[in-house]
Structure formats: structure tokens, C-alpha cells
Amino acid sequence: MKPLIVGHLFPDYLNIYADRGNIAVLARRAAWRGHELEVRAVGAGAQIRPGEHDLFYVGGGQDREQALIAPELAALGASLHDAFEAGAAFLAVCGGYQLLGRFYRDQSGEELPGIGLLPLYTVAGTRRMIGDVLLECELEPATKQTLAGFENHAGRTILDPGAEPLGRVVAGFGNDGKSGYEGCRLGRAIGTYLHGPLLPRNPWLADWLLAQAIAHRTGHEPELPPLTDELERQAHAVSARRAETRGGHF
Ligand code: GLN
């Protein structure tokens, strides 16, 4: 099969807390199942051909970096919407998650345009929400999973009525420290505040994203052979315990 194409949005600007590590996990888990991953940087003025990319990834960043690229990312908005409609998967982390919504009003009060793919907007508050996080998720009906990671954001993200969060907060702040929910899921698009990086300690989500990307490429949902994931399970357990003992809250 041809390689799976991953579009890494603005990799030189949005990449904190080793968010780039998420790509390494996707590439390795794909290879263990006989799939090659080809990662292409997508930046200012990029041509995004419909159907070219199976998965888009965007990491986190400080307000300064977000302000530098937001207009350029917004300019790619129509093509990214087309790619989403054509079935491409998305993983967006923290600052990247905020810019997949309608806008992010940053700590200076400046309103940074988003691409309006996810049904949400974000406004920075004065106190940062920092700490370990644990979520309960159900991406597939009757398949509950936990997601463990680390958050550090000033932004408070407000989902539109009826929008689907990524998960229920078991420990930590989540989208706004009040709603009890974290992240947003829209079809094959996932947005979250969870850094870490996220995927090494949550292999089920890495496999879910890979399955979406392969489904985009082949037209049908694959059965990915299970992996042992012993180290991943231990990393998840440590992260989950940290969140339960010292996750943030107001
Ligand atoms: N700058 C954004 C905020 O503070 C996102 C931070 C991040 O990506 N960690 O909310």
C-alpha cells in the first residue's frame, strides 16, 4: 500500500512539550503493522490538494508563536475544511487545538483567527491551568478508555451547545476548569489540551487515529493487530496516578 501521508501543520512554530513525539509514535505503530508514514510539513501558502493527506497534525505553542502563524493557518482554512469533508483525520494539541476553533483571544486581548473547523472558541484567562490530567473517553460506542497527559494553558475553551467533548475530566482542569469536559471530537478530528507528548502513554488513541487515516486511504476501517504495549501501559498508569493525586483544579 502507498504510504500514509501526514500533514504536519507549522512544525517550526507549534511544537512544545515534545508534541513532535506524537508523530514518532504514529510512524512507529504504523510500521509495526506494515504501513509507512510520510510526514510533510505544511506551512504558510502551502497547496493542500484534496485527498492528498490522510491525517493532519498540529502541536501546541505559546501565544507569541500562535500570533505569528494564525493568519497563515486561517488562509489554509478552506482547504483544510475540504480535506476534513473528504475524510482526513486530525489531531490538534493545545495551541493548535485552539486555532482549529473559530478564534483564540490571547492574553494580550488580541483575537487570533482560527479555521473554524471545530465548534468552539477560546479566551485566555489570567491564571494558567497547569498539571496532570486524566480523562474518561468513549470515541466508539460502549468502548470506554482513559486518556492521561499534561496540560498548561491560559486559554478557556468553550464548546458550542451540542458539540462533543473528547472526554469527561476525572482529574485536572480540562477545557475551562469548570465544565468538567476536555477537548473536542468532530468525526475524525480530535482536539485536546493534553501534552506529554500525548500518544506514547495513550496507544489506543494512536491506533484510533491510524485506523482513521487508513480508512481515508483505503475506504474501509482496518483491524489493526494488537501490540503488547507493556511500557505504554506502565507510562499511562504512572501519568494517571499523578493526575489523580495532584491534578489541577480551581
Ligand atoms: N498559548 C496557549 C495558551 O496559553 C496554548 C498553550 C499551549 O499550547 N500549551 O492557552
User: Residue 154 — very low, low, confident or very high, per pLDDT cuts 50/70/90?
Assistant: very high
- Which protein residues touch ligand 1 with a CB less than 6 Å away? 16, 60-63, 66, 94-95, 124, 152-155
User: Residue 235 — very low, low, confident or very high, per pLDDT cuts 50/70/90?
Assistant: very high
- State the pLDDT at residue 162: 98
- CA 237 to ligand 1 centroid distance, Å: 25
Active site residue 236: no
- State the pLDDT at residue 150: 96
- CA 124 to ligand 1 centroid distance, Å: 9
Q: What is the mean pLDDT of residues 126-132?
A: 96
Which atom, in ligand 1's list, is nearest to the CA of 60? 8
- CA 63 to ligand 1 centroid distance, Å: 6
**Rounded distance between C-alpha atoms, residue 22 and residue 24, angstroms:** 5
User: Residue 207 — very low, low, confident or very high, per pLDDT cuts 50/70/90?
Assistant: very high
Residue 122 reports pLDDT greater than 80:
yes
The x, y and z cell numbers of residue 178, run together, are: 469548570
Active site residue 8: no
Residue 233 reports pLDDT greater than 90:
yes
- State the pLDDT at residue 250: 73
User: Residue 209 — very low, low, confident or very high, per pLDDT cuts 50/70/90?
Assistant: very high
